């Protein structure tokens, strides 16, 4: 019996770094710098530099980063924010948290990202911001978005939670929009040993306000200029992220190699593969294939010990929590079809060539054995 191939292998990643992580955590504990502190300050500086950004503000999750970004963008009750229905739900939470309304626009069939032409048609006098996602680590086409935002004087907020290190026209995502939001959830390309997130911006004023908002709305202890939050990054997470950040470029390179190997191995199957657009170097957070018999293929993979996952099985406009927005099935056919057809295959730096080959072999078996096309 061959060894099962997990969908994601966090233990393998931690094994290779365990000594460094243990030492970093021990130092933080010795210093008792648990909430923010020097490790977070150092990580913020390093991550800002990695992104080529002026400022990074460490937070306790990507969801918090998006929430703070909406506040910084001046979004409030009754406002509209144009966003994608095909993403993890936290993208929309941020809009809901500030009392605004998510306005969904259908995605592009090739990249699953928002496309600017459709977004422009959805702008109303109530629109206060545009919040696209670099889904699966593949950058959305930033230039047309920046153009629309300039034309309508709207802030662009990038949800880069899946796209650490992705490039748009040769430059890292995270500095094109007014604000960019990252997640360091353990399953992300750069993951903490717990929760974590960050907001990146070139605007020092916005960064200063974000620092106050994450710490109860204060810049001076026990003086509160506005209603704030406890959204501080933990010292231990800053320390862990500092260790891992040094490996991120190398890891991203490995993800690219695996993606290109999948492209080659699966090219002559009936699967629709995710290709990079000409302007993009994906961070390959996920490797997503499409097929009409997705559910059967998923069962076949699992029965043969190959882990896989769905991102995402139900678009946001059809979620129960958003029934009140008044959308219905059929409103966003591209997103709905993607939700029925997409399947995420294992992709992580520790995945071996042999494992990649086996995933491809098991997929090919499905099509041969079932004579499926």
From 5, 36, 39, 62, residue interacting with ligand PLP (rule: CB under 6 A): 62
Site string for ligand PLP, 238-277 (x = CB under 6 A): ----------------------------------------
Query: Going by DSSP bridges, is the β-strand pair 55-59/127-131 parallel, antiparallel, or unpaired?
Result: unpaired
Minimum CB distance to ligand PLP smaller for 88 or for 366:
88
Comparing CA positions, the residue from 44, 369, 307 lying closest to residue 182 is 44
User: Which pair of tokens denotes residue 49?
Assistant: 């530099």
Of 59-67, 121-129, 168-176, 224-232: span binding ligand PLP (CB under 6 A): 59-67
Residues 190-209 that bind ligand PLP (CB under 6 A): 197
Q: For residue 98, give Cα distances in angstroms to 76, 121, 140.
A: 5, 24, 25
Number of chain positions touching ligand PLP (CB under 6 A)? 14
Residue whose CB is less far from ligand PLP, 44 or 159: 159
* List of residues 6+ apart from 110 with CB closer than 8 A: 275, 277
Q: Which residue is nearest to ligand PLP (CB)?
A: 62
CA angle, 34 then 40 then 42, to 5°? 140
Compute the half-sphere exposure of residue 229: CA atoms within 13 Å on the CB side of its CA.
19
- Interaction of residue 287 with ligand PLP, rule CB under 6 A: no
Backbone angles phi, psi at 90, to 5 degrees: -60, -25
Q: Is the link from the previous residue into 312 a cis peptide, with omega within 30 of 0?
A: yes
Question: Quick check: 39 binds ligand PLP (CB under 6 A)?
Answer: no
Q: 136 to 175, contacts with ligand PLP by CB under 6 A?
A: 159, 161-162
Task: Name which position in 55, 91, 201, 355 contacts ligand PLP (CB under 6 A).
Answer: 91
Choice from 13, 28, 33, 63 touching ligand PLP (CB under 6 A): 63
* CA distance linking residue 173 with residue 323, whole number of Å: 33
Which of 28, 55, 61, 252 is close enough to bind ligand PLP by CB under 6 A?
Answer: 61
Q: Is 133 in the site for ligand PLP (CB under 6 A)?
A: yes
For ligand PLP, the binding residue among 28, 55, 84, 87 (CB under 6 A) is 87
Dihedral sign computed on CA atoms, order 64, 65, 71, 76: negative
Which residues lie near ligand PLP (CB under 6 A)?
A: 61-63, 87-88, 90-91, 133, 159, 161-162, 183, 185, 197
């Amino acid at each position: 019996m061959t060894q099962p191939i997990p969908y994601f292998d966090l233990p393998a990643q931690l094994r290779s770094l365990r000594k460094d992580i243990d030492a970093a955590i021990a130092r933080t504990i010795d210093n008792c710098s648990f909430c923010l502190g020097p490790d977070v300050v150092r990580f913020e500086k390093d991550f800002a530099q990695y992104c080529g950004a002026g400022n990074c503000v460490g937070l306790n999750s990507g969801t918090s980063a998006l929430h703070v970004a909406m506040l910084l963008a001046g979004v409030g009750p009754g406002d509209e924010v144009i966003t994608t229905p095909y993403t993890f739900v936290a993208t929309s939470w941020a809009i809901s948290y500030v009392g605004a309304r998510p306005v969904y626009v259908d995605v592009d069939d090739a990249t699953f990202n928002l496309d600017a032409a459709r977004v422009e048609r959805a702008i109303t006098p109530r629109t206060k911001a545009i919040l696209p996602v670099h889904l699966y680590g593949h950058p959305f086409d930033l230039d047309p978005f920046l153009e629309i935002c300039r034309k309508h004087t709207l802030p662009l907020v990038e949800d880069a939670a899946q796209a650490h290190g992705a490039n748009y026209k040769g430059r890292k995502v995270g500095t094109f929009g007014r604000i960019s939001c990252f997640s360091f959830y353990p399953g992300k390309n750069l993951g903490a040993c717990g929760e974590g997130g960050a907001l990146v911006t070139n605007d020092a004023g916005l960064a200063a306000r974000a620092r106050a908002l994450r710490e109860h709305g204060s810049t001076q202890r026990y003086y509160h200029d506005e209603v704030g939050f406890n959204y501080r990054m933990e010292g231990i997470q800053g320390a862990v992220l500092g260790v891992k950040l040094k490996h991120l470029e190398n890891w991203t390179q490995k993800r690219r190699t695996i993606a290109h190997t999948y492209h080659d191995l699966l090219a002559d199957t009936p699967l629709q593969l995710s290709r990079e657009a000409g302007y993009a170097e994906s961070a390959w957070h996920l490797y997503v294939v499409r097929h009409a018999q997705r559910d059967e293929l998923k069962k076949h993979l699992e029965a043969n010990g190959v882990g896989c996952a769905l991102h995402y099985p139900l678009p946001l406009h059809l979620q129960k929590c958003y029934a009140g927005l008044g959308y219905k099935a059929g409103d966003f056919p591209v997103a709905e079809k993607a939700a029925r057809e997409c399947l995420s295959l294992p992709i992580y730096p520790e995945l071996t060539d042999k494992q990649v080959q086996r995933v491809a072999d098991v997929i090919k078996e499905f099509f041969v054995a079932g004579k499926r096309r």
